[in-house]
Amino acid sequence: MTESSSPRLHVVDALRGFAIVSIMLLHNLEHFDFYFKPTNLPGWIIPIDNAIWDTLFFLFSGKSYAIFALLFGLTFFIQDNNQQKKGNDFRGRFAWRLLLLLGFGLINSAFYQGDILTIYALLGFSLIPVARLSNKTVFWIALILMLQPLEWFNVIAGMIHPVAKLPGQASWAYFDKAAEYVPGRSLINTLIGNSTNGKTAVLLWTWEVGRVFQTMSLFMLGMLAGRKYLFSTSTQSTRFWKLTLISAALAFIPLFIIKNGIPAWISVQSVTRPLSTIVSTWSNLAFMLVLVSGFYLLYEKFAGRVLNVFSAFGKMSMSNYIMQSIIGSFIYYGFGLGLYQYTGATYSLLIGLLLAVLQGIFSSWWMKNHRQGPLESIWHKLTWIGSN
């Protein structure tokens, strides 16, 4: 949460809210990480389901979370900068804040195994050692991380010792075990399963698909965006985001083609798997920058009149994120309504849109009467516990 001594960046609130809504829509399509394709759907809806699935995953998969990561680093800069102006060092307090976030994430993980709060809490510590480094040094560290150095090592190793077919990624053995407890009617079994087996699956998957390095890089790039005041209203910021929009769009096209072509061009899995991870990271980054720059420019052009609908969402993003996990698991899992059995992408999208509208109404009402969201308020108070 930003401190009161800093002017509020309303475009950031709206952008964060946009990311939360798009994440919610994807989570509904995925039945909150319980992939199940109903067999009793009418034939006419199946092509619609496929089109909705492909479109939403193209637009938001790997991008919405990246927006969230970028803004996480930006928020760190705002808080750190405000405390520096008061003569305080925020880094120790930020470490405590991350531990609190880890606690919130573990609670959320019990309902939704795909939780990102625990990941952000753990990887957020990477911001502490770079917080006082120069912009140039931080940029180069972020760039190296975004290049996925470990995956390049794997590519070279795969070329030296080619393997035509690799075993499946370790995470999926754990993901598959969700079928043992998610369809069941026991809430306790589901909470335990998500917290143990599910959390193991997600941590392994995060490492396997390169999101550890990418997330730390995005945190640092967000911090640099704060240092450069790129989300402030100014001619320089507008010029930067226009250039970013054009550059990112031009970069995305060949990256997307290469990403889809790698499996057909290279038959050696020991090379294709890490190379696909690298190119997917860059492709998602490029499209994420298209979304962020496009959002900023539209917000500035129309003075936020349309996109401000997402602002209340963004101001209480953690509350909304955890709320959607609890509600979503009840809707789709066996301990609740069990709708995973009946809803394809079309029905799930409609449910997601309805939940988004209801959360938007609740968020607007709450923020008219409070300065922060309910969980944000608790997080803020615990962050500054013991301070004068």
Q: Which residues contact 54 (CB under 8 A, 6 or more apart)?
A: none
pTM of the model: 0.94
CA nearest to 171, candidates 333, 33, 278: 33
How high is the pLDDT of residue 9? 82
How high is the pLDDT of residue 168? 85
| DSSP summary character for residue 293 | H
How high is the pLDDT of residue 387? 79
How high is the pLDDT of residue 1? 35
For residues 287 and 306, what is the distance between their CA atoms, to the nearest angstrom?
22
Query: CB 366: neighbour CB atoms within 10 A?
Result: 17
Query: CB 206: neighbour CB atoms within 10 A?
Result: 20
Q: Are 77 and 371 in contact (CB under 8 A)?
A: no
Q: Are 149 and 217 in contact (CB under 8 A)?
A: no
Task: Note down the domain range covering 352.
Answer: 10-383
Joined together, the tokens standing for residue 254 give 């060949």
In angstroms, what CA-CA distances link 158 with 248, 265, 312? 30, 15, 48
Residue 100: burial class (beta carbons within 10 Å; 0-12, 13-18, 19+): middle
Q: What is the dihedral of CA 318, 313, 385, 326, to 10 degrees?
A: -30
Query: CB 69: neighbour CB atoms within 10 A?
Result: 27
Query: CB 87: neighbour CB atoms within 10 A?
Result: 6
How high is the pLDDT of residue 321? 97
* Measured distance between the N- and C-terminal CA atoms of the chain, rounded to whole angstroms: 19
Query: CB 359: neighbour CB atoms within 10 A?
Result: 22
How high is the pLDDT of residue 318? 97
For residues 72 and 363, what is the distance between their CA atoms, to the nearest angstrom?
20
Total of domains in the chain: 1
For residues 61 and 214, what is the distance between their CA atoms, to the nearest angstrom?
14
Segments in the chain forming alpha helices (H): 10-29, 46-60, 64-85, 91-111, 117-123, 127-130, 135-146, 149-160, 171-176, 187-193, 199-208, 211-227, 235-265, 269-301, 311-315, 317-332, 345-369, 374-383
3-state secondary structure of 63: coil
Crossing angle, helix 374-383 and helix 317-332, to 10 degrees?
130
Amino acid letter, residue 237: S
For residues 198 and 200, what is the distance between their CA atoms, to the nearest angstrom?
5
Does residue 313 lie in a domain region?
yes
How high is the pLDDT of residue 104? 98
Joined together, the tokens standing for residue 312 give 């209340």
Q: Which residues contact 129 (CB under 8 A, 6 or more apart)?
A: none
At residue 251, φ and ψ (nearest 5 deg) are: -75, -35
CA nearest to 11, candidates 314, 286, 282, 250: 314
Q: Are 12 and 299 in contact (CB under 8 A)?
A: no
3-state secondary structure of 386: coil
Does residue 4 lie in a domain region?
no
Q: Are 340 and 31 in contact (CB under 8 A)?
A: yes
Does residue 2 lie in a domain region?
no
3-state secondary structure of 255: helix
CA nearest to 326, candidates 370, 388, 374: 374
Does residue 339 lie in a domain region?
yes
3-state secondary structure of 325: helix
Does residue 1 lie in a domain region?
no
Question: Mean pLDDT by 10-residue block, N- to C-terminus, for the chain (388 residues)?
Answer: 53 96 97 92 94 97 96 97 95 97 98 97 98 98 98 96 89 94 97 97 96 98 97 94 98 97 94 97 98 96 87 96 97 97 96 97 96 96 88
